[in-house]
Chains A and B, each alone.
Chain A
Amino acid sequence: MPPLSQPQQTLEYWQDPKAKPYIVIDNVSKSFGSVQAVKGVSLQIYKGELFSLLGGSGSGKTTLLRMLAGFEAPSAGRIYIDDADVTDWPAYERPVNMMFQSYALFPHMTVSQNIAFGLKQERIAKKIIQDKVKWALDLVQMAGFGDRKPSQLSGGQRQRVALARSLVKEPKLLLLDEPLGALDKRLREQTQFELVNIQERVGITFVMVTHDQEEAMTMSTRLGIMEEGRIRQIGAPHDIYEFPNSRYVAEFIGSMNIFEGIVIEDQDDFVLIDSEEAGCQLYVTDSAAVPVGSHTAVAIRPEKVMISSTPPAGNRNSAKGVVREIAYLGDISIYYVELESGKMVQAARPNLLRFSEREVTWDEEVYLFWRAENGVILTS
């Protein structure tokens, strides 16, 4: 791995070879009639992780979550939680709780009754139930709302109650189905960090399903990108962002410039690619092994692309083009530059100067360039 990927000193759970996975999904498939929603997914999640399943609709992420909860039975494969094979356990016997996308708070019960629901099922003493309900309400900062009905709460308050209800039984695994999906943007950003804080405090393993990549990136220890029932890549947010393993992942997370080309040299510490699309040679310090003469693709993030009106030194990793569009986003601007090959390239630059003072503007001829370590070779 290139040096950029490991800035931290301590090993994370999934990097420690001695660590034992807490949740093991072993080659699990699920078919609904002729439709295969999940295709042979294997996944290992460690204790205390906040793991996100990220994917578009129809990617199978929700089906996978429902199989963990016990609402769907896998067509093939096994699921283990804390060494127990739970594949054939009904939902009500699994040490798993779920926070539903619609929250599913019982409308005929008060907030306290909702939270106590699962505890009452275990026939614990009333006093202990009361204490636990109070603890859960405090945890989500909803003390004083115990006697309200769900219909008397705002969306954000319902979300907290739903979280309290699913946490109060202290499950081995908590599943969250689009936990912030029903909240507006401002509340969502605020709640992201709160959810992470609560997760760290209670130490319960979370598996979350989301289609929002920003949510997945900020909250997760690791995430799995799903597409058409398969997991395309698993990794920490920065690993997936910096080193996507495929074109699909590269384009799914953030935006990406991708240049096609032919490998002309492959060494241990770099690859040289001749790209007609880019109009230059691409020099990439990537250890990927690609045979000379083969077609390959190099990906560069827009924010890694520099833009200048004067030609840079050297002719590798630099392309000439004309600015066609500028998307002004306030904090940054995205320049859409058309290369001589007709390829459109995005370059994102922070707006350090005022709009009227910027050095590059529409229809101007510019040079784009980037550092060798910022290119990524996409093998699939």
Chain B
Amino acid sequence: MIHQNRPLKRYHSRRRSALRDRQFVTAVPYLWLILFFLIPFLLVFKISLSESVLAVPPYLPIFEWVPEGFLNIHLNIGNYLRLFLDPFYASGLMTSLIIAFVATLVCLVVGYTIAYSITRIPQQWRFIFLLLIILPFWTSFLVRVYAWMGILSKDGLLNQLLLSLGLIQEPKQFLYNNFSVIVGIVYCYLPFMILPIYSVLEKIDEVYLEAAYDLGCSPWGAFWRVTFPLSLPGVLSGVALVFIPALGEFVIPELLGAPDNLMIGRIIWIEFFNNRDWPIAATVAVVMLLMFIVPIMVLQRRQLRKQG
């Protein structure tokens, strides 16, 4: 009996340790998220509930021990009320939404076309095209945005080109408006749209297209009825990868945008550094996160589960 039991026991203990290893491995991303997402978020959330003062740090603590052993909690929801009552923030949010939406749409149309074209060229050339798409990342983000200032400014390349072609009589200002911000966002985030769409398109089996032709679809019909629906997971990742950062984008509107038409990223910056009102800046950040980014993530997760 004892002899028979021994290998079984060893088997069980080995299984248990394997289980522990697996749990450890899955714990790593959770640890990462707790350390670098949840804790910072809670800190920001805490600041958003405190009161602004002229001090260092520029906000009052929420928790305070008072001598008789009491814990005093001061929760200030005034920042949240202000956010919803003052149209300054709502208009900033609207501007951000519209610009991020338009930029994402342009990215989608352009990015999908590019990704699709790359899947149509011979395998050995694709690598070069993908490399060219990633290549600009090797220079600084700031340099790339500055480059657009050089192109779009009054004496920039675009004006010189249009003047020499005789399409305009005097230089126009293309910079410092929503158009230039959208151009900047599309340019900087396009690779984030192209790459996920390309990786999905590349995996779609050619035989589905043949089946669609065989069943009477023209190439155009086959694209809309087969290729596009099958590429939706890539489209959704691309849209999320462009829309979320575009919504909170700070550098591009700061350099290329209009001084009066503020995006939410610049509002946070102004409140934080110019007005030193940390609580309201934190409030804007928290609200934006909860209003847009969380729903997008949930939607994406559900889509992924549906695909799997």
Binding site for B on A (CB under 8 A): 69-71, 90-93, 96-98, 100, 102, 104, 106-108, 117-118, 121-122, 165-166, 169
Contacts and interface: CB of A to CB of B under 8 A. Distances in A.
Contacts of A102: 205, 207
B221 to A, nearest CB: 7
A169 B216 contact: yes
A169 B215 contact: yes
Given A106-B208, A106-B226, A121 B216 contact: yes
- Of the candidates B205, B207, B215, the one having the most CB atoms from chain A within 10 angstroms of its own CB is B215
Contact of B210 (A91, A93, A165): A91
Contact of A104 (B210, B225, B229): B210
18 contacts: A71-B210, A71-B214, A91-B210, A97-B214, A100-B207, A100-B210, A100-B211, A104-B208, A104-B211, A106-B226, A108-B229, A108-B232, A117-B212, A121-B217, A121-B221, A122-B216, A169-B215, A169-B216
B230 interface: yes
B210 A118 contact: no
A92 B225 CA distance: 14
B305 to A, nearest CB: 14
Contact of B215 (A71, A90, A108, A121): A121
A254 B208 CA distance: 36
Interface residues of B, number: 18
B295 to A, nearest CB: 24
Given A69-B214, A92-B214, A117 B225 contact: yes
A106 B216 contact: no
Nearest to B214: A98
Contact of B214 (A91, A106, A108, A122): A91
Nearest to A97: B214
A171 B211 CA distance: 14
Contacts of B230: 106-108
Given A92-B213, A97-B215, A104-B208, 5 more contacts: A71-B213, A92-B216, A104-B205, A104-B207, A107-B230
A170 to B, nearest CB: 12
Interface string B229-245: 11010000000000000
B303 interface: no
A106 B217 contact: no
B218 interface: yes
B134 to A, nearest CB: 29
B303 to A, nearest CB: 12
A368 B229 CA distance: 67
Contacts of B214: 69-71, 91-92, 96-98, 166
B213 A106 contact: no
A100 B207 CA distance: 8
Nearest to B207: A104
B200 to A, nearest CB: 12
Contacts of A97: 214-215
Q: Which of A69, A121, A166 has the most CB of B within 10 A?
A: A121
Contacts of B212: 106, 117
Contacts of B208: 104, 106
A70 B225 CA distance: 20
A16 to B, nearest CB: 32
Contacts of B232: 108
A104 B213 CA distance: 12
B236 to A, nearest CB: 13
B213 A90 contact: yes
Nearest to A102: B207
A117 B214 CA distance: 11
A322 B217 CA distance: 65
B60 to A, nearest CB: 55
A99 B89 CA distance: 59
Nearest to A168: B215
B34 to A, nearest CB: 35
A166 B110 CA distance: 36
Nearest to A105: B211
Contact of A117 (B205, B207, B210, B215): B215
A107 B230 CA distance: 8
B306 to A, nearest CB: 10
Contacts of A70: 213-214
A341 B82 CA distance: 107
Interface string B101-128: 0000000000000000000000000000
Contacts of B226: 106
A233 to B, nearest CB: 29
A166 to B, nearest CB: 8
A92 B211 CA distance: 9
Contacts of B213: 70-71, 90-92
A90 B218 CA distance: 9
A149 B240 CA distance: 27
B293 to A, nearest CB: 27
A282 B208 CA distance: 56
Nearest to A93: B216
